[in-house]
Structure 1
Amino acid sequence: MQEYTNEFAELWLNVPNALERAGELWLVRAGRNRAKPNYAVGPKVIDCFGFHFVLKGKLQLEYEGRQVLLHKHDIFCLLPGISYVYGIQPASEALEMIWLTLDGRQVPELLSCLGINRNTPYTRNRLNRSSTHQLRAIIELLRTDQSEPVQRQILLLQLFASLMAPPEEPFHTQEKLRKSWVKTAEAYLRLHFAEPLSIVELAATAGVHRSHFSALFSRELGASPQQYVLRMRMDKAAAMLSEASLSITEIALSVGYSDLYSFSRAFKKYFGCSPSQWSF
């Protein structure tokens, strides 16, 4: 990085070629910096779209009489024709940013997808691991081969695709969701225990791998899905043997077994006696 009055920075300038202009999205300039304690920019107006990605620290942005404090993983964009002032927040962690100044007819659509507009030229906590990787890949490409427009276009589109991905849920929210689908799975098994069941299909419905589904189900309910189904079948069979005037074969078929033999074997293993002994 080169030292300047209020920052250490690298800067790359681009003249878009015919291919980039045909794609309606092109890089005008790009850079990265590490701010000094006196870092401040503006007031200034630009005629393109200046995307700034906050990697570390805090930054105060002022625009059209408004002020906002931005943090690590936030993004702000300098929109054409609007005067901005921005600078490091005093006594904060060292400020580091990457910026990409873009132009082309695709840019307003990209802004819209990110929720950035004239009234709110920023978005909170948008940078994730994937988008940070894409940003660094763009900078590395500019360092090594600034004449590669195809790869540059690919990386730009991959960057915005990653920025538009749903934000990662906090751990407590993920835990709440997991417990929710465990309850849903339990209700499903209570209703359909006598039907042919596939744990793989049940896990797929919950959107998780079978092993993870079984482990979490066991942790929350104290029994694996298979054990839970067995308990439901045996409890129902025992109640039917005690209360209903049905044959053992009818009960076996009613609680989900395909034949008397497999039911009798499972019943004796579970209760320690045969179905016929239980009924007397």
Structure 2
Amino acid sequence: MNNNFHIFPSENFIDLCLYQYGHEKCAPGHLFGPATRNHYLFHYVLSGTGTLMAADSKGENHSYQIRSGQGFMIFPGQITTYIADVNVPWEYVWVEFDGLRTTEILNVCDFSADSPVYRTRSAELREKMAKELLYISEHSDQSVFHLMGHLYLFLDLLAQSAPAPKPAVNSKMSDYYIKEAINFIEQNFQNDISIEDVAAVCGINRSYLGRIFRTSTGRSPQEFLISYRMTKAAELLKLTTLSVGDIGCAVGYENPLHFSRAFKNVYGISPREWRNLHK
């Protein structure tokens, strides 16, 4: 298996943020899952074929055969497994992203847990989109702003090439509260903060914050906090020689066992195993 994998070095983007990206030539029968993700993950198949098994909005499992020129979207918290064909394994490029504008973008493209497969009638737009994904995967040495620009270009082409794109919905006043909440989490994730603290900073109650946060981002404030902490932990594991215990403290976990458990829930392996894989 030939795997090109990168972690985006910055999370200081609220409306849209890139988390991880890569380019993979799978071995025959290569399998990933069952697993869940913290962010949205899009795969575009350059060649070959394979199978996606994904739970829909009701938790019922479905299988999709996905071949060259198609793609699939994985949603936060959605249980998925995907397997490369034994005879003609797929090669794909992928990006993991999230942000306040993500739900709006996916609505324009008409993606949902019930409709996760990307298909288009425009070969020209599809090829342009694939080039943007390949560009991102091959230029990890560029600045964060450069890569974010190409992420926006990719999403624009994804929306343009959708079979029946929907009009975008205007932003809501509640986005102000969500931005305030995210800013507070980003500045205080290393401290012992609760969602009540986040809501209090915004001047609203916890239940209202949870409702508008999930509507706009597809997940709860608690899920966002844990995801943010674990992404920061992954950066420290890869870029520093700090101990696992020290890294846990640096992202808000005084108990190393609690940190390791939370990390494994997100990445599927322990912090130590993750570090060994990504040195």
Per the normalisation by structure 2, the TM-score is 0.52
- Aligned residue pairs total 155
C-alpha change, 1:166 and 1:9, in structure 2 (3 Å) is closer
Residue of structure 1 in register with 2:38 after alignment: 47
Matched, 1:99 2:94: yes
Matched, 1:153 2:110: no
Residues of 2 paired with 1:99 and 1:17: CA distance? 18
Identity of aligned residues (%): 20
Residue of structure 2 in register with 1:73 after alignment: 69
State the SS of the aligned residue for 1:128. Answer: helix
The answer to which structure, 1 or 2, has the higher relative contact order (CA under 8 A, 6+ apart) is 2
Q: Of the candidates 67, 75, 82, which is equivalent to residue 78 of structure 2? A: 82
Residues of 2 paired with 1:17 and 1:86: CA distance? 27
Residues of 2 paired with 1:162 and 1:79: CA distance? 20
User: RMSD of the TM alignment (CA)?
Assistant: 1.9
CA-to-partner distance for each residue in 1:105-164, whole Å, 9 max, x for gaps?
11112211222101111222476221122112212221x33xx12111211111111222
Structure 1, unmatched stretches of 5+, are 1-6, 169-280
Residues of 2 paired with 1:89 and 1:116: CA distance? 24
Residues of 2 paired with 1:132 and 1:55: CA distance? 8
Asked if 2 retains the 8 angstrom alpha-carbon contact of 1:54 and 1:96, the reply is yes
Q: Of the candidates 25, 46, 51, which is equivalent to residue 34 of structure 1? A: 25
Q: Give the superposition deviation at 1:28.
A: 0.8
Residues of 2 paired with 1:166 and 1:50: CA distance? 18
Residues of 2 paired with 1:13 and 1:150: CA distance? 15
Residues of 2 paired with 1:129 and 1:25: CA distance? 23
1:55-66 map, 5 Å = 55-64=46-55, 65-66=61-62
Q: Give the superposition deviation at 1:14.
A: 2.0
Residues of 1 paired with 2:117 and 2:9: CA distance? 27
State the SS of the aligned residue for 2:51. Answer: strand
Aligned amino acid, residue 131 of structure 2: H
Residues of 2 paired with 1:124 and 1:17: CA distance? 30
1:1-280 map, 5 Å = 7-18=1-12, 20-21=13-14, 24-64=15-55, 65-92=61-88, 94-125=89-120, 128-142=126-140, 144-145=141-142, 148-166=143-161
Asked if 2 retains the 8 angstrom alpha-carbon contact of 1:28 and 1:101, the reply is yes
Aligned amino acid, residue 106 of structure 1: R
Per the normalisation by structure 1, the TM-score is 0.52
State the SS of the aligned residue for 1:41. Answer: strand
Task: Tell me which stretches of 4 or more aligned residues in structure 1 moved more than 3 Å.
Answer: none
Residues of 2 paired with 1:124 and 1:25: CA distance? 23
Residues of 1 paired with 2:111 and 2:11: CA distance? 27
